[in-house]
Amino acid sequence: MKQFYKTFTSALTAILLMTACGNAGAQNEKKDVKGTHPQAVAELDAAQFDEKVYDMDAEGLKYLGDRPAIVDFTASWCGPCQRITPILEELAVEYKDKIVIYKVDIDKERGLAQAFGISSIPAILYIPADGGEPVITVGARNKDKFRNEIQTYLLKKSD
């Protein structure tokens, strides 16, 4: 009988280990399937902003990018900002050949926030590549609202 319990315990332990390892892999697969791409939205500091978006030392604002851009003015303590982060990550992948999406942490880059008059966050700066006027919107929104604004402000198409 002791031998039976030893064999049973060993077999049960092996099954539990295989199940645990299998579930760990499944959890990783779910993350990948969900579309989380942590590098899709690049965080910019002031120097990178000057190189990729607007040279803040130049006279007048001239967009430096070759594709329309979204700049998300955000902060780590802002709940609504954190809620839109995965949406922006997904949109960066969805529109990867059409627009570029950046984020600026207002706590780290107070000068940039002040330069654009950011007093409430999340604040989203839409910058058309064709020299059109940039548009700033404030507040969290869902993915459909973002898509609509991307079409309207950046890609100049209406539904």
Q: Where in the sequence numbering do the catalytic residues fall?
A: 78, 81
Residue 111 CB coordination number (10 Å): 11
The full DSSP string for 85-123 is HHHHHHHHHHTTTT-EEEEEETTT-HHHHHHTT--SSSE
